[in-house]
Amino acid sequence: MFKGMLLLVAVGLSGFGVKAIAQENPFQPNQKGNFYIYWGWNRAHYSHSDIHFTGNDYDFTLENVVARDRQSPFSSETYLSITNISIPQTNLRIGFYFKDKYQISIGDDHMKYVMVNEQTVKMDGAIANSGTAYDGVYDNQDFKVARDFLLFEHTDGLNYLNAEIRRADVLWGSKHVWLSSQFGAGFGALVPKTNATLLNNARHDDFHLAGYGLGIVGGLNINFFKYAFLQFEWKGGFIHMPDIRTTQFKADKASQAFFFSQYNFSIGVNYPFGKKNK
């Protein structure tokens, strides 16, 4: 995550320092009125987090829980097929330049979050009347998160629906290719589809508005022949979900907060509705 932040800062500073190159090119990809849409894929990383579970017969916290993303094995059927669109970790964004160099956009960062089972964590709280061997009082003691105790995943997925404002600056340009920096920030809502199995409860797997997120982003955009581009991004931020559904009962829920980072690769198209680009 630290390397990603250094890249973001470097890209942002370089964008503000390069002006002459952009002025020499008759076409500028970052002009007022330009519209774009892109689709891509991400790799995500998460900080450790405390997960607090509450219900009618339990109230406990698992501390410093480790989680990973879930990458789908590459195949054209998985990554390029419309019917399998939600299987990989993906990014969709639609944006508009409301001013030269400045864009506003909305998007969905479809990450996957998988708690690692069989890890040992600290547990604090109490469980009663579950009908399992886990009933008891826990006082900050070591606890192995077995599969028959808890499965906990946001795998379809950890959906971060967000709006962003970014600045884009041309770093280099030729007749048909332009390289631009991207730097910005955003906020949004978390609507995970949480796949959870807790104690003796049935598996639960529904979409639910669970919380909010904040993020910053930096990247490089390579524009080809005005209308097509590739984009490489690093995004980092904070997610707080105080209302995660875990079972079919509304009284049962979990809460957690953690930092995340993404490495994204996207393919997009843009169209200049604004100034006439020659």
Residue 91 lies in a domain: yes
Residue 278 lies in a domain: no
Among 24, 9, 11, 34, which residue's Cα sits nearest to residue 272? 34
pLDDT in tens, 23-56: 454 567 889 999 999 999 999 999 999 999 999 9
- Find the range with the poorest average confidence among 13-22, 35-44, 129-138, 202-211: 13-22
What is the rounded end-to-end Cα distance, in angstroms, of the chain? 40
Has this prediction a pTM greater than 0.85?
yes
Q: Which residue has the higher pLDDT, 99 or 24?
A: 99
d(CA 253, CA 52): 8
Number of domain units in the chain: 1
State the pLDDT at residue 86: 73
Is residue 104 over pLDDT 70? yes
Identify the band that residue 85 occupies on the pLDDT scale cut at 50, 70 and 90.
confident
pLDDT in tens, 147-193: 999 999 999 899 999 999 999 999 998 888 999 999 999 999 999 99
C-beta of residue 218 within 8 angstroms of C-beta of residue 8:
yes
d(CA 232, CA 263): 8
**Biggest alpha carbon distance in the chain?**
74
| b/e burial code for range 212-229 (CB count within 10 A of at least 16 → b) | bbebbbbbbbebeebeeb
State the pLDDT at residue 11: 44
Residue 142 lies in a domain: yes
Residue 190 lies in a domain: yes
User: Residue 107 is inside which H or E element, if any?
Assistant: strand 102-115
Identify the band that residue 17 occupies on the pLDDT scale cut at 50, 70 and 90.
very low
Residue 239 lies in a domain: yes
Domain that holds residue 40: 2-272
State the pLDDT at residue 19: 47
10 CA to centre of own chain: 22
State the pLDDT at residue 128: 95
Residue 129 lies in a domain: yes
Alpha helices per DSSP H over the chain:
2-17, 20-23, 76-79
State the pLDDT at residue 276: 55
State the pLDDT at residue 275: 56
State the pLDDT at residue 274: 59
State the pLDDT at residue 22: 43
Residue 277 lies in a domain: no
HEC sequence for 196-262: EEECCCCCEEEECCCEEEEEEEEEEEEEECCCEEEEEEEEEEEEEEEEEECCCCCCCEEEEEEEEEE
Residue 156 lies in a domain: yes
What is the overall mean pLDDT for the chain? 89
Among 15, 22, 2, which residue's Cα sits nearest to residue 220? 15
